[in-house]
Amino acid sequence: MFAHALMRRAADIEAMWRRSAFGSRESADVDELRRRIGIVDVGRYRGIERFPFSEIKEDCSGWHLGPVAEREDPEPVARLRLQSLLGPDGHDVSWPRAWLSSLEGLLEVRDCLVAPGEFEIVSLGVPPEMPGHLLGFDVGYAGGGNFSILCDAALWPTWHPPDTDALDRLAAFVAQLNEHLLFPSAELAREYLAWYATQAWAEQPPEDFRIIAVGEVRAPRQAT
């Protein structure tokens, strides 16, 4: 599988998390977790769990502590364009879908956005397919769901925060992440997945997760 996606910037996600009900409640514990494992600047993260622009309007799933009021979609034109381009693309992956095979199509979606500056285009591949301008490797669902077992354990722990006795090993993996808070090699990402699969606190089943190569896309400027 090789595709492209419009990802939000991690610094913006951190601000959203801090403002959320969940983030406000958990901030002290998460700050201590990050300190213990050596996460200093979450804004450097350029992996897959960055609320990519998808076929549905998502409101930070998991960060609400009660019912969520329905809001008007801020990007209806771009959403419709993405939905029309997706068609059957990626129906074998988790929902909602956000990965589009065609870069040209994703550029069309970007050009329809009201706020294109909130997103960056990345290329994504499941090895042996590799994007150009490689940023590093994440581990999670490929093509939909947009869930990273690195992110959920170390950056914005929402569904499966790590147990205290796992923090030393998790910190050892974090120490090997690159400047984008991604694994520098597919081999190290596989080692992390193998360890994660043994943890009682972790998301299951581990066979659903893939090593995902993330690349920077130096796309043309937005149409005017």
User: 131 in a domain, yes or no?
Assistant: yes
* Residue 167 binned pLDDT confidence (cut-offs 50, 70, 90): very high
User: Domain containing 185: what range?
Assistant: 2-216
User: 222 in a domain, yes or no?
Assistant: no
User: What is the number of domains present in the chain?
Assistant: 1
Which tokens sit at 2? Answer: 């090789």
The model's pLDDT over 23-35, given as tens digits with 9 standing for 90+, comes to 999 999 999 999 9
User: 223 in a domain, yes or no?
Assistant: no
User: 118 in a domain, yes or no?
Assistant: yes
User: 157 in a domain, yes or no?
Assistant: yes
Asked whether residue 59 carries a pLDDT value surpassing 80, the answer given is no
Flag the least confident range among 126-135, 140-149, 160-169.
140-149
d(CA 193, CA 206): 8
User: 221 in a domain, yes or no?
Assistant: no
Helix, strand, coil % over all residues of the chain, rounded to 5: 35, 15, 50
d(CA 205, CA 121): 29
Q: Can you name the residues that pair with 138 across neighbouring β-strands?
A: 212
pLDDT, position 99? 92
